[in-house]
Amino acid sequence: MARILIVDDSQSQLLGLKRIVEKMGHDIITAEDGAAGVEVAKREIPDLILMDVVMPNLNGFQATRTISREAKTSHIPIILVTTKDQETDKVWGMRQGAKAYVTKPINEAELVKTINELLPA
């Protein structure tokens, strides 16, 4: 069982992602914006992060860049989970340090497969 941080400012999206991850048998930690996500990641050191992009304070690209460049958290795989579906968004997200990019609406099977591929063995 892994500890997964879900960072999303939408309560409905947070609940949907939480349901999928809990069904997989993992523990959940949540944060409601990018700035809080960075703080929680530093404090809790989760096994994986699901990160929205469009959020107040610090967007998901900025939070991903901060987490992936910080020595304490750089090993944590980040999956960007977003409505931003342009190829340029995906390329930019991966350049910020994300390991995967999943678009909303969520395809549950795709998300489960991606989480399983990225979780440390």
Q: In what order do the strands lie in the sheet with 27-31?
A: 27-31, 3-7, 48-51, 78-82, 100-103
Contact between residue 115 and residue 79 where contact means Cβ atoms under 8 Å apart: yes
The answer to whether 30 touches 7, Cβ cutoff 8 Å, is yes
105 in a structural domain: no
Q: Is residue 45 part of a domain?
A: yes
DSSP-assigned letter for residue 6: E
Provide the domain limits for residue 22. 1-84
Domain count, the chain: 1
For residue 13, being part of any structural domain is answered with: yes
CB contact at 8 A, 77 and 33: no
Each residue's pLDDT, cut to its tens digit, for the chain (121 residues) gives: 999 999 999 999 999 999 999 999 999 999 999 999 999 999 999 999 999 999 999 999 999 999 999 999 999 999 999 999 999 999 999 999 999 999 999 999 999 999 999 997 7
Give 27's contacts (C-beta < 8 A, 6+ positions apart).
1, 2, 3, 4
Whole-model pTM: value is 0.97
